[in-house]
Amino acid sequence: MVAAGLLILRLVIGGILFGHGAQKVFGWWGGPGLAGWTQAMTRMRIRPPGAWALISAFGELGGGILLILGLLTPLACAAIAGSMLVAIMLVHLPKGFWVTKGGYEFNLSILGAIAAVALVGPGDDSLDAALRIHLPEPATLIVLTIAVIAGVAAALGSRKPAEAPKTETA
């Protein structure tokens, strides 16, 4: 039953992230497409917007596909975690918890789900299991955690400061 539960979790979360990535990359399902996503990055003051648009969009798209397949699962989880953490910090945190107000509830749910998969593994019904791919533990977890933290820090540090409001002088 554990393998079936992990398969369901991977399919649902991976499918959601694939969908979000496909919206950003291809404009599917009412998404902005890559040009629109790059413009959104510009509005969020992320520099350089094109590079970060590619990283975030393909992190979600690729992470979702890998999670669905259960292939290189720790890498998939790291890509998704990075994307969700940056989204929380740059967009959703100031709006509070609840998603109805634009908060981080959804992103935190995704983080919790992928943390569970990352810690337990993808299960027997995965390409990792079929291909006998076993990344070394705990080294993989440590390296990926450092990579996610560095990536999130780089994204947060790349944000252009808000322009100071113009004041009239007398």
DSSP string, 44-94: TTBSSHHHHHHHHHHHHHHHHHHHHHTSSHHHHHHHHHHHHHHHIIIIIGG
Q: Measure the CA–CA gap between 135 and 126, rounded to whole angstroms.
A: 14
In the chain, the amino acid numbered 49 is: P
Per-residue pLDDT tens for 98-110? Answer: 999 999 999 999 9
| Contact (Cβ atoms closer than 8 angstroms) between residue 3 and residue 122 | no
User: For residue 101, what pLDDT is reported?
Assistant: 96
Global confidence as pTM = 0.86
pLDDT band at 141 (very low <50, low <70, confident <90, very high): confident
pLDDT band at 169 (very low <50, low <70, confident <90, very high): low
Q: Measure the CA–CA gap between 19 and 60, rounded to whole angstroms.
A: 8
In the chain, the amino acid numbered 118 is: A
In this predicted structure, the answer to whether residue 138 has a pLDDT above a threshold of 90 is no
Q: Measure the CA–CA gap between 132 and 54, rounded to whole angstroms.
A: 31
